[in-house]
Structure 1
Amino acid sequence: MPTTPPYNQPLGGNEMPRFGGPATMMRLPTQKSAEGLDACFVGIPMDIGTSNRPGTRFGPRQIRDESRMLRPFNMATRAAPFESLQVADIGDVPINTFDLKKSVDIIERYYDELLTHDVIPLTLGGDHTLALPILRAMAKKHGPVGLIHVDAHADINEHMFGEAIAHGTPFRRAVEE
Structure 2
Amino acid sequence: MSNDKPSPATATFSDLAFTRTSPYGSQAEPTYAGATSFLRRKYSKDLESVDVAVIGVPFDVATTGRPGTRFGPRAIRAASTMLAWCPPYAWESDPLDTLHVIDWGDVFFDSGHIAEAPVAIRNTYLQIAAAGVKPLTLGGDHFISYPILQALSRTHGPISLIHFDAHSDTWADDGVRIDHGTMFYQAAKTGIVDPSRSIQLGMRTFNEEKHGYEVLDARWLHRNGIDAALAAIKARVGDNPCYLSFDIDFLDPSYAPGTGTPVVGGFDTHTALEFIRGLKGIHLVGADVVEVSPPFDHAEITALAGASIAQEMLGLFASKCA
- TM-score of Structure 1 vs Structure 2, range by shorter chain: 0.7 to 0.9
Q: Show the counterpart of 1:8.
A: 24
Shift of 1:101: 2.8
Distance 1:163 1:39 in 2: 31
Distance 1:75 1:156 in 2: 35
Amino acid at match of 1:8: Y
Amino acid at match of 2:160: G
Q: Show the counterpart of 1:90.
A: 104
Q: CA distance change for structure 1 residues 171 and 107 in 2, over 3 Å: closer, same or farther?
A: same
Structure 2 residue 117 is the aligned partner of structure 1 residue 80? no
Residues 47-71 of structure 1 show CA distances to partners (whole Å, capped at 9, x for unaligned) of 0111211000000000000000114
The alignment's TM-score, normalised by the length of structure 1, stands at 0.87
Q: Show the counterpart of 2:141.
A: 127
> For 2:163, what is the secondary structure of its paired residue?
coil
Work out whether residues 49 and 100 of structure 1, in 8 Å CA contact, stay in contact via their aligned partners in 2: no
| Number of residue equivalences | 169
Higher helix content, 1 or 2: 2
Residues 99-152 of structure 1 show CA distances to partners (whole Å, capped at 9, x for unaligned) of 443111110011011111111110000011101000000100110101111111
Residue pairs, 1:152-167, within 5 angstroms:
152-159=166-173, 164-167=177-180
Distance 2:33 2:132 in 1: 32
Amino acid at match of 1:130: I
Amino acid at match of 2:161: L
Structure of higher CA gyration radius: 2
* Runs of 5+ consecutive residues of structure 1 not aligned to the other structure: none
Distance 2:126 2:83 in 1: 30
* Runs of 5+ consecutive residues of structure 2 not aligned to the other structure: 1-20, 191-322
Q: CA distance change for structure 1 residues 175 and 41 in 2, over 3 Å: closer, same or farther?
A: same
Q: How big is the alpha-carbon RMSD for the aligned residues of Structure 1 and Structure 2?
A: 2.0
Amino acid at match of 1:157: W
Identity percentage over the alignment?
38
Q: CA distance change for structure 1 residues 158 and 75 in 2, over 3 Å: closer, same or farther?
A: closer
